[in-house]
Amino acid sequence: GAVVSQHPSWVICKSGTSVKIECRSLDFQATTMFWYRQFPKQSLMLMATSNEGSKATYEQGVEKDKFLINHASLTLSTLTVTSAHPEDSSFYICSARGRLAGGISSYNEQFFGPGTRLTVL
């Protein structure tokens, strides 16, 4: 249980275009989803936290108008990179926590997706 998927697994786009990445919780209700960015040979940096039905909370230094996050349902959050540029090329990972099967709450544990490799040409 507690499986998180991401789509697409990789995407290549031209500079100036927008790209949408989906994060889905497959077998539990994700009340909170987190979006991370990971540059090569670096650690994961939290970009934003989104609670279902609420606006996302962005970390300091992350442009909310550039990285649009929507968490409209308990199983889906999307990250849209608007007007992408080569410096936005990165590995984007989502994670989720929430109500697992049997009503157990995973408040303190996040379940991670497999990541999406974005390359902006």
Partner 1 sequence: AQSVTQPDIHITVSEGASLELRCNYSYGATPYLFWYVQSPGQGLQLLLKYFSGDTLVQGIKGFEAEFKRSQSSFNLRKPSVHWSDAAEYFCAVGSYNQGGKLIFGQGTELSVKP
Q: Which is nearer to partner 1, 19 or 94 (CB)?
A: 94
CA distance 55 to 25: 19
Nearest distance in Å: CB 89, partner 1: 14
- 32 within 8 A of 49, measured Cβ to Cβ: yes
Backbone angles phi, psi at 114, to 5 degrees: -80, -10
Nearest distance in Å: CB 16, partner 1: 26
Q: Which is nearer to partner 1, 9 or 17 (CB)?
A: 9
Interface ranges with partner 1 (CB under 8 A): 32, 34, 42-46, 49, 91, 93, 97, 107-110, 112-115, 117
Q: Which is nearer to partner 1, 49 or 70 (CB)?
A: 49
With residues binned 3-state (H G I as helix, E B as strand, rest as coil), the percentages for the chain, rounded to 5, are 5, 55, 40
* Dihedral angle computed from the Cα positions of residues 96, 51, 85 and 120, in that order, rounded to the nearest 10 degrees: 30
Q: What is the DSSP letter of 59?
A: P
Nearest distance in Å: CB 51, partner 1: 9
Nearest distance in Å: CB 23, partner 1: 11
